Amino acid sequence: MAAVIIDGKAVSESIREKLKVRVSALGEKGIVPCLAVILVGDDPASLSYVTAKERALSLAGMESRDYRLPKDTTEAALLSLIDELNNHERVHGILVQLPLPKHIDQQKIICAVVPTKDVDGFHPVSVGSMVLGRSGFLPCTPMGVITLLREYRIAVSGSHTVIVGRSNIVGKPLANLLIRQDANATVTICHTSTKDLSHHTLEADILIAAAGKPSLIRPEMVKEGAAVIDVGVNRVGDPSAKNGYRLCGDVDPAVSQKAGYITPVPGGVGPMTIAMLLQNVVEAAENRYNG
């Protein structure tokens, strides 16, 4: 039987609608939640992500301050901008789009953002707080995945959840969030050195693909009825497409004939990442107001 398609776009829209109420409550106090968005260089995928984030902020009645910096921007110049934004009264959140050009030390930049404005949840203090279950910003894509599972009432507690990918942005934080006592999954993390990937994926009640490899997960690797969450956003060349490429996930579309639930690409996890980012920005603004 064909899988239930998890509609991330619809879930994200309903979250964004609810956020408008919090944004207007802040507005009554004279506060407009504001995110500084920094993009270094001209990577087309990164540019399209930051444009989508800025558009969503504006639609939700929030402000974005856009910093488009040339690809030869020095690490010192970027650190100086972050320092200025850390101290800026009206800026509640700071997002530095990753990846950064190779001459800039990414970890150094992530560490420079003050944790109270770290709406990406990438700072070591945010990561530590997440692991310990203390308050702090949670990373957007992992929270988007968890919110989708919750919205579709997919049983996470007691499930065997297999994550393919161990990135700092998705795989590692997602595993941590899923083993917390409010989620209670049993988690396996697979990566490029995992032997016999199918052996693990076939065991998954919930399979999360976050490896950045087009169509890595094929139908024969998935247990009948499993919930399959595709975090991959890959651009593959397609001469018949308007811009010469199409977006493709880490999961072969034929998996939908075997899975119980599946997220589409686009329209699955992607819009949820943005909704979670907006939520973190609103929270950052509320935190500032409430001291």
Q: Which residues are catalytic?
A: 53, 97, 120
Instruction: Find the largest Cα–Cα distance for the chain.
Output: 57
Position among 36, 140, 210, 229 found at the interface with ligand GUN (CB under 6 A): 140
Of 33 and 173, which CB lies nearer to ligand GUN in the complex structure? 173
Q: For residues 235 and 216, is the Cβ–Cβ distance under 8 A?
A: no
Task: Work out whether 174 is an interface residue with ligand GUN (CB under 6 A).
Answer: no
Task: Work out whether 54 is an interface residue with ligand GUN (CB under 6 A).
Answer: no
Minimum distance from CB of 199 to ligand GUN (Å)? 29
Helical spans, DSSP H, in 60-164 = 75-86, 106-112, 124-132, 140-151
Binding to ligand GUN in span 272-291, by CB under 6 A: 273
Position among 36, 94, 149, 169 found at the interface with ligand GUN (CB under 6 A): 169
Task: Work out whether 143 is an interface residue with ligand GUN (CB under 6 A).
Answer: no
Position among 85, 94, 96, 226 found at the interface with ligand GUN (CB under 6 A): 96
Of 4 and 125, which CB lies nearer to ligand GUN in the complex structure? 125
Of 53 and 200, which CB lies nearer to ligand GUN in the complex structure? 53
Helices (H) and strands (E) counted in the chain, each on its own, are 9, 11
- Angle at Cα 46 formed by Cα 42 and Cα 52, nearest 5°? 120
**CA 29 to each of CA 26, 89, 138, 229: distance values in angstroms, whole numbers, following the listed order:** 5, 15, 26, 39
Neighbours of 220 (CB within 10 A): 12
Minimum distance from CB of 167 to ligand GUN (Å)? 9
Count how many Cα atoms sit within 13 Å of the Cα of residue 53 in the half-sphere of its side chain. Answer: 31
Task: Work out whether 97 is an interface residue with ligand GUN (CB under 6 A).
Answer: yes
Q: For residues 95 and 37, is the Cβ–Cβ distance under 8 A?
A: yes
Of 19 and 259, which CB lies nearer to ligand GUN in the complex structure? 19
- By CB under 6 A, which span of 27-35, 70-78, 95-103, 236-244 interacts with ligand GUN? 95-103
